[in-house]
Amino acid sequence: MEEEEVITIRLKDQTGEETMFRIRRNTPMGKVFKAYAQRKGVETHSLRYLIDGEDIVRSDTPLSI
């Protein structure tokens, strides 16, 4: 099933440093945002996440983007 497939996504900060996460295609991006903020030691709400200049909503999933 496509929803169960595990994918790797990369988050890149403004300095170019990349952080990778392995998630399922139906995982809400909010879960990834929380894990990323914890790794960086910052508050989740202090970060913005974009794909091609468009904001990503916490409830979005890789399938819905």
Domain with 48 in it: 2-55
Q: What is the pLDDT along the chain (65 residues), one digit of tens a residue?
A: 677 899 999 999 999 999 999 999 999 999 999 999 999 999 999 999 999 999 999 999 999 98
User: Where residue 25 sits, what CATH number does that domain have?
Assistant: 3.10.20.90
In a domain, residue 32? The reply is: yes
In a domain, residue 46? The reply is: yes
Total structural domains in the chain? 1
The pLDDT value recorded for residue 45 is 92
The pLDDT value recorded for residue 13 is 94
> Which residue type occupies 44?
T
The pLDDT value recorded for residue 63 is 92
Q: Give the closest residue to 22 by CA, choosing from 32, 12, 34, 37.
A: 32
The pLDDT value recorded for residue 2 is 72
* DSSP state letter for 49: -
In a domain, residue 48? The reply is: yes
The pLDDT value recorded for residue 23 is 97
